[in-house]
A = this chain, B = another copy of it.
Amino acid sequence: MLSRIRIVLVNTSHPGNIGAVARAMKNMCLHDLVLVDPLRYPEEADVAFSRASGAHDLLSSSRKVETLAEAVEDCHLVIGTSARQRTVRWPVVDPRECASLASERAAADQQVAILFGRERSGLTNDELALCHYLVQIPTNPEYSSLNVAMAVQVIAYELMMASLAEQGPTAEQRDMITAGQFEGFVRHLEETMGVIGFTDERSSDKLVRRLRRLFLRAEMDPDEMNILRGIFKASQEHRVRTPRNPGND
């Protein structure tokens, strides 16, 4: 089950943290680590390996990619960690709920990613826009800046607890679209809104973010996505298929 859960570190600044994450992951039976555009790594890999202690194998098998989109493209469920209360209303879970969600999906053979942002600034709004859920680790309101490896440790611990608690067959699982398919869906929606005259370029960004959240929450299966894309297509072609005589207006 834990093999279907990926830890994704975005723009990590300190190679030592990457090593500490590898160790925390291995301690909790996680194995899949993806590094999105890390700073000073692999240049300062020795620092990372020294902190990884006995988890050198895990660190060696980690993958480095350029963009977050690449890291999550094959994922059915994407959860982003966030220290801050966002003004935007996102579905927020605590680490225990996060582990429960992730385990259910992984048990149904879906691919799950949990994202951890930059040491100082976390994940950007654009990166959060890729997430189905945010997970917030409860912290001291007066001192909430958890070290990134500590945050991974807490989440990984809850995943381990969930995997130990797991028993018996889970409820019927729906077939889910991947993050890559979701992006195609959103592009189609955006294009449609433009073609039907609902948006122009200036007004659409915030709106699109909002609609992303709505449809991420819906957790579409491929059939549902295709129905909606069929509707988008019909909306766009509507004009072409039924030309009107200007004289009738």
Contacts and interface: CB of A to CB of B under 8 A. Distances in A.
A94 interface: yes
Given A137-B157, A154-B154, A210-B227, A55 B143 contact: yes
Interface of A: 20, 23-24, 26-29, 53-55, 89, 92, 94-96, 137-140, 143-147, 149-150, 153-154, 157, 160-161, 164, 172, 174, 192-193, 195-198, 207, 210-211, 214-215, 217-221, 223-224, 227-228, 230-231, 234-235, 238-246, 249
Contacts of A193: 231, 234
Say whether chain A's binding surface is mostly helix, strand, loop, or mixed: helix
A196 B244 contact: no
Given A53-B145, A89-B172, 8 more contacts: A95-B157, A193-B231, A197-B242, A211-B227, A211-B228, A214-B218, A214-B220, A243-B244
A85 to B, nearest CB: 9
Contact of A140 (B26, B195, B219): B26
Given A138-B161, A172-B92, A198 B230 contact: yes
Contacts of A20: 147, 150
Nearest to A2: B140
Contacts of A249: 240, 243
Nearest to A89: B174
B94 A161 contact: yes
A54 B145 contact: yes
A29 B172 CA distance: 33
18 contacts: A23-B147, A27-B139, A27-B145, A29-B139, A89-B174, A92-B172, A138-B161, A149-B150, A157-B157, A197-B238, A197-B242, A214-B224, A214-B228, A215-B218, A217-B217, A235-B238, A240-B249, A245-B246
Contacts of A238: 195-197, 235, 238-239
Nearest to A246: B243
Contacts of A154: 153-154, 157
